[in-house]
Structure 1
Amino acid sequence: MSKEKNFRNSGSHVLLMHRVSQILQDHGHNVTLLSNRGRSLASVYVSFFLLQLDFFEDWFYTHTHVKYESENFVNLMEILGTRCSYLLRRCDIMDSLKNENFNLIVVDAFDFCSFLIAEKLEKLFVSILPTSVSRLDIGLPSPLSYVPVFQSFLTDHMDFWGRVKNFLMSFVFSVEQWQIHSTFDNTIKEHFQEGSRPVLSHLLKKAELWFVNSEFAFEFARPLLPNTVNVGGLMVKPIKPVPQELENFIAKFGDSGFVLVALGSIVSRYQSPEIIKEMNAAFARLPQGVIWKCKPSHWPKDVKLAANVKIMDWLPQNDLLAHPRIRLFVTQGGMNSVMEAIHHGVPMVGIPVFADQHENVLRVETKKFGVSIQLEQMKAETLALKMKQVMEDKRYKSAAEAASIIRRSQPLTPAQRLVGWIDHILQTGGAAHLKPHAFQQPWYEQYLLDVLLFLLVVTLGTAWLCGKLLGLVARWLCGARKLKKA
């Protein structure tokens, strides 16, 4: 199996960070990649921390409830915090990192351990957010009237009750963020001296730049700060011809074209025999060919593969999405896959399972790029109807192509934005000029609570004074009348 195939069979975080590493190397930077698989050193200008990502996937695989649940996610972060303590105790790794002449550290925002290591090394760092910007509180202005809170499953078009829900969900989100951050408290206490212990919420705002793996052809428009840069589409590479084996298979179906099915590295491992059976039966009802990323070793022995279906352990997803005869992409809704589909203007059927996938598929539906179906509701007839709906209703294809035009027509590519901003940070020695003073203000100043309190005191004081003066005037007038009558 080629190196590309090896990485394609890794998880989305690994793929994204490896791609970022490649882009920077292609533009002349020397890169060290630190991961739980190992580390290679060179004359380094930029360092990457790619921690715990394989463990993250294994954890989801061993848990039965794979949907995003706050309690499960907090438990995962507690485990990552413990593993982070172990890494920080590794004097051999930490000392060698300190001895390297890093100019900049690039961290994956999923694992907070990366931020703590950057703080230990006292180096500038930028962060890669693999998912939507709403996933973390990084200090962005978020008007609740049109910016949906993560896991609220709202759009930017909210009615009155939607705004009520969004307002209440903002408190739930804040509590969940606090719970998640607190899972690293013991690690921080163990490895940082009292008086200089970082606060995770402050560390997030300390990042010089935030690179977000999304863009506004997909996201709901919202305010960003100058140090927040959308780079969705980094995974899109120059198109290569698909292997002849696949080209021969596609040719069998002529103008009917083909459907690509790829449910991601983690979700593919959850495909039970029942789910595989239902999906196979659904694909058998289509006139199109179906190329399905599904390990042959996972295929149930009692299920006969549909005549129009080809299963593969690995497939060139980007190249297949660019193929002129593709008609539909069946995806789990991971951000990398959605960005690739948007780039190539391919409509989708989303089968979300966990984490941000439900939010991503909600946006796919809202933007009319496709429809969704829940994994637990997977039935052959339902899935077949959903797929036919998207392929036969040209509005989905038109919306996907319009999004592709928006994405492609931007003046700079995602890779150019990434490299250009990193070069800018290296040349200017940081991004203080891109961060608002609000990051240094206490919360009561940011929300003008001190100003409101002052105005309230002045208003109440003035009202009290006016009342007293009116009372004095009234008593004086009453006294004057009594003297007149006397």
Structure 2
Amino acid sequence: MAGGWGSLKLVLLLVLHLHGLQGAKILTICFVSGSHFLLMDEISRILQDNGHDVRMFRQIGYGDLPGNDMSTPYAVTSYTMEKEFLKENEESFKERQKKLFSGRVGVQYQFRVINLFADHCQIYMNQTDILDFLKQQKYDIAIIDAFNPCHFLVAEKLGLPYIAFFPGLFINSLAIGLPSPPSYVPTFRSFLTDRMNFLGRLKNTFMYLDPYMVEKKNEAIFRRVIERHFPADSRPSLLELYQKAELWLYNADFSIEFARPLLPHVQCIGGLLAKPANPVSQDIEDFIAKSGESGFIVMTLGSLISSIPRLDLVKEINSAFANIPQKVIWRYKTSQWPKDVKLAPNVRLMDWVNQNDLLGHPKIRLLVTHGGLNSLTEAVYHGVPVLGIPLFGDQFDNLVRIKAKRMGEYIPPNEIKSENFADAIRKIVENKSYKTSAMKQRAILRSRPFPPDKQLVGWVEHIIQSGGGSHLKPYSYQQPWYQHYLLDVILLISACVSVTICFIVKIIILFARLMSSSRKKKPKPKQN
């Protein structure tokens, strides 16, 4: 019987291997727009170009990128939000943007985003026609954007094994069981480096469980979705779905991230969007040429931030640009530029920029950015120093790492004034140490033994051909929490030590009593 099962397993693995070589059917899922879509689009293109049959399930209409070419080499199944719903969300996003530029955005903003994801998820999970169609396609595996918990629920509803791709650094490390010693692994939102003094380690220790509490809150937010769309006897928790992923791929690279322990089922493929630059258009080239030896600066605050809702901040930044010698290409929606603000003569506004191509231009001097990981990785790839304006999420932590690597600085938006902003630009451009550090990080990123696209294809095919990623996961996933943290062992040792101490104390007390008793019984010496 055992021999028969062994032969069957060998045949099954051989079939899977041959199937993988011929091309697997892969479903990618992405309901988040902006840079998240750009990454999932790139993943889908890479796998399609390497002989796999790829289809993306995505939403259209909310947060679409300007000028985005909807033609793809892979198939797309999409859902378009209703116009009234889109309008309501657009107005809500405008209000949220005002808070982003206040410099006081905390974890509550993240919960508002998760609530929005949960509301959207109710809509996606109700698309039974689409879900039934995707089930009938019988995909070998799904690759999902792990930032949105809804993607896990959709993959589970479709009954597909899945690979989780996380578009940022390791902010969910506790949820997936990564070892995260607080002595040198900074906690999300701690704004610490890996080189902490005593007070830093104390702060990091107190904040250690904060990400876990955030995940518990996310679980509570998505509970209404899970209860509505899964039967009572098989309702998964988000934590179970995180640990069910066959593999975790992170958009991270240690040219930016601090060194930390990983597990075999966690791999880094950061830099998918960073590529050799193409020539810029002639009109942009003509604008750059006018900068002479001073060069030019690129400013962009991410794919979803097309303007700044604070007039005072626009004036301060514009005034700062007017007082530097460099030309500036500023990604800003021209129709939303304040009519009563005269644009600085050395600034060109553009509704959309090809950031990667601009960063690869020989006259680039600085990237002014919100601190998104894709932007920072492109800056590292091209060896460009950075000035950050962090707005929310992981951007503060990302820029802490850039500063620690000595390739840039950052200023929170509520602290920006014309003078300090211009001074920061001059400091980074004129102090060559920032450029030197940026080139050092570039060498680290570019000299990796295997480029990220090859790692992506290799790991996906490995998971398909080996029938899953269980061989990469630690046994801790199956252990009860008290065994994982050795509480049963600690309890036994504590009990043994306590019993031993009690026994020793009793022996000492007994011995002391015997000594005291013998002294009392000892006869007094006779007097002459």
* The two structures share one fold, judged by TM-score above 0.5: yes
User: Do structure 1's residue 194 and structure 2's residue 217 form an aligned pair?
Assistant: no
Describe how 1:62-461 pairs up with structure 2 within 5 A: 62-63=95-96, 64-66=98-100, 68-135=105-172, 137-461=175-499
**Could you say which residue in structure 1 is the equivalent of 2:44?**
21
Residues 1:274 and 1:110: Cα distance change in structure 2 (over 3 Å):
same
Residues 1:47 and 1:219: Cα distance change in structure 2 (over 3 Å):
farther
Deviations 1:104-149 (A, max 9, x none): 1111111101111111222211111111112453211000011111
Distance in 2, Cα, partners of 1:203 & 1:433: 17
Deviations 1:296-330 (A, max 9, x none): 11122222222222111122211110111111111
SS at match of 1:241: coil
Distance in 2, Cα, partners of 1:228 & 1:48: 29
Distance in 2, Cα, partners of 1:287 & 1:376: 25
Cα offset, 1:442, TM superposition:
1.4
Cα offset, 1:68, TM superposition:
4.0
2:60–2:79 Cα contact (<8 Å) kept:
no
1:290–1:308 Cα contact (<8 Å) kept:
yes
1:211–1:228 Cα contact (<8 Å) kept:
yes
Distance in 1, Cα, partners of 2:112 & 2:326: 43
Cα offset, 1:268, TM superposition:
2.7
Report the AA paired with residue 460 of structure 2: I
Please tell me whether Structure 1 or Structure 2 has the larger radius of gyration of its CA atoms: 2
Residues 1:192 and 1:263: Cα distance change in structure 2 (over 3 Å):
same
2:277–2:361 Cα contact (<8 Å) kept:
no
1:127–1:210 Cα contact (<8 Å) kept:
yes
Deviates more, 1:94-103 or 1:300-309: 300-309
Distance in 1, Cα, partners of 2:254 & 2:91: 32
User: Unaligned stretches of 5+ in structure 2?
Assistant: 1-32, 62-69
Question: Matched residues, percent identical?
Answer: 44
Distance in 2, Cα, partners of 1:388 & 1:481: 88
Cα-Cα RMSD: 2.8
Residues 1:82 and 1:315: Cα distance change in structure 2 (over 3 Å):
closer
So what's the TM-score if we normalise by structure 1?
0.90
User: Unaligned stretches of 5+ in structure 1?
Assistant: 1-9
**Could you say which residue in structure 2 is the equivalent of 1:61?**
94
1:47–1:104 Cα contact (<8 Å) kept:
no
Residues 1:209 and 1:58: Cα distance change in structure 2 (over 3 Å):
farther
Residues 1:388 and 1:57: Cα distance change in structure 2 (over 3 Å):
farther
| Alignment size in residue pairs | 473
Cα offset, 1:219, TM superposition:
0.8
Deviations 1:274-310 (A, max 9, x none): 3232222211212111111112111222222222221
Distance in 1, Cα, partners of 2:253 & 2:76: 25
SS at match of 1:133: coil
Report the AA paired with residue 125 of structure 2: L
Residues 1:133 and 1:172: Cα distance change in structure 2 (over 3 Å):
closer
1:124–1:208 Cα contact (<8 Å) kept:
yes
Distance in 2, Cα, partners of 1:372 & 1:290: 18
Distance in 1, Cα, partners of 2:522 & 2:419: 98
